[in-house]
Amino acid sequence: MPTRRTLLGAAAATAATPVLAACGEQAGAARTTRQQRRTPGRRVDLVFWTWVPLQKAVALWNRRNPGIHVTVQTVPANTSGGYQKMHAALKAGDPPDLAQIEYYALPEFMLVRGLTDLSAYGADRLKDGYIDWQWQQGVFAGRTYAIPQGSGPMGYFYRADLYDRWGLEVPRTWDEFRRTARAVKKRGGDSLITAFPPVNAQWFASFPWQRGAHWVRTEGDTWIVDLTGEEALQVADFWEGMIRDGLVAPVQDSQSSFFKGLQTGRLAGWLGAQWQDALIRGNAPGTKGRWRVAELPQWERGGHASANWGGSATAILQGTRHPVEALRFAHWLNTDPASIELLVEAGYGWPSAKLDLEGSPLGRPDPFFGGQVYNEIFQVSDRNVDTSWRFSPTTTQSYAHIQDSIGRVVAGHGTMRGALADAQTKFVDDLRAKGLDARSAR
């Protein structure tokens, strides 16, 4: 496995690959990956940690591949403790063979040498079966360290019945979104156009991303943090105005009050990722047939700019004794048509594999969305994600600072511009604490 200094040098020469390295941070894996010789007739057992309900797809694999058995173990979702558990297992020398890791967290695991170099086991031969920008999320210094699983292109879920009742058109630009929000508040009783979750940095980040901002970039060996660029501040001003004027509901997504709002019409829509279709369907069943999906509102009329929220890879952690078998399973899980259909049912996200939308379950008219082939919207969204957006190896803790700062604004303290400036300083401190060169853009 290349040293972090090697990764740093190669990364600095490749704009799409994060600079990962050099001093200060200790390797987090107590043992390195080694392929164990397979005894004829003896079953290989793999353990897979994930928070997504993938059991049906894994059960299908186990039926089809009796010689390689995969056991799914559920861990807390992302920042709720799953990653801490993974890091602890790496340090203890007892990691699972495979783990679901979100794209934004991959650099964090690379920084501590927590991922297996899959190029050494033939992974690069598989890349043509995947959407390129998703594949690149697991590539560092030209080597592949994770198999992409799914992403979260953004769109606007909205209640078509309420829009019709109020005589409103679906907003196509952000200016129209603001005007429509005022009309919803005036005509809709206690309804509002959408929610603004007080503590969800990943959700909020999708809007500067769409606008063309770049919160992090590199210059040589140095990380540049830029939360206060022109594009990011334009987004901050927009949402501050929406909050100040009471045009959005300050409720946290994926909690009971949020889902009640979707069910009752308190929330007339939601700016969310494709994978949230299953959450809306499962938590607001009484609204079947009333939902539709549109593209994100645009800053420039006629555009199709989009962004991504979420997205994960199937990673093979450092220390497995079965990397060949684990890679075989990871590729099957994310490309086999029968597996993808089961994963779509589980709401795992927009597939990483290249596929024909019309020939997949994603291309079917959906009764819950009034017969709309709503994934056509997300296909357009996915094609228009700015793939130059990058993640740092401190995203988990740095986004926590952003959440804290924005949460205070929602509670009535300070401004969005001030919140981003405060978070930017802490973001830089996080990178420096990892032994990385970092500075603010301004």
User: pLDDT tens digits, residue range 208-225?
Assistant: 999 999 999 999 999 999
Over range 106-135, report the average pLDDT: 96
- Whether 60 has a pLDDT exceeding 70, the answer reads yes
Tokens of 105: 């967290």
Task: Report the share of the chain in percent with pLDDT over 90.
Answer: 86
C-alpha gyration radius of the chain: 22
Predicted confidence at residue 27, as pLDDT, reads 57
Domains of the chain with CATH codes: 4-151+309-378 (3.40.190.10), 197-229+391-442 (no CATH)
What does the H/E/C string look like for the chain? CCCHHHHHHHHHCCCCCCCCCCCCCCCCCCCCCCCCCCCCCCCEEEEEEECCCCHHHHHHHHHHCCCEEEEEEECCCHHHCHHHHHHHHHHHCCCCCEEEEEHHHHHHHHHCCCECCHHHHCHHHHHHHECHHHHHCCEECCEECEEEEEEEEEEEEEEHHHHHHHCCCCCCEHHHHHHHHHHHHHHCCCCECCECCCCCHHHHHHHHHHHCCCCEEEECCEEEECCCCHHHHHHHHHHHHHHHCCCCECCCCCCHHHHHHHHHCCECEEEEEHHHHHHHHHHCHHHCCCEEEECCCECCCCCCCECEEEEEEEEEECCCCCHHHHHHHHHHHHHCHHHHHHHHHCCCCEECECCCHHHCHHHCCEHHHCCECCHHHHHHHHHCECCCCCCCCCHHHHHHHHHHHHHHHHCCCCCHHHHHHHHHHHHHHHHHHCCCEEEECC
pLDDT digits (tens, 9 = 90+) for 348-396: 889 999 988 888 889 999 999 999 999 999 999 999 999 899 999 999 8
What pLDDT is stored for residue 30 in this prediction? 87
Q: Read off the pTM.
A: 0.90
pLDDT: is 288 or 17 the higher one? 288
Over 80: is that where the pLDDT of 9 sits? Answer: no
Averaged pLDDT, 106-115:
95
- Does the structure show a pLDDT above 50 at 15? no
Mean pLDDT of the chain: 92
Q: What is the pLDDT of residue 79?
A: 62
**One-letter amino acid for residue 341 of the chain:** E
* pLDDT single digits (tens) 232-249: 999 999 999 999 999 999
Confidence of residue 81 (pLDDT cuts 50, 70, 90): confident
pLDDT in tens, 401-430: 999 999 999 999 999 999 999 999 999 999
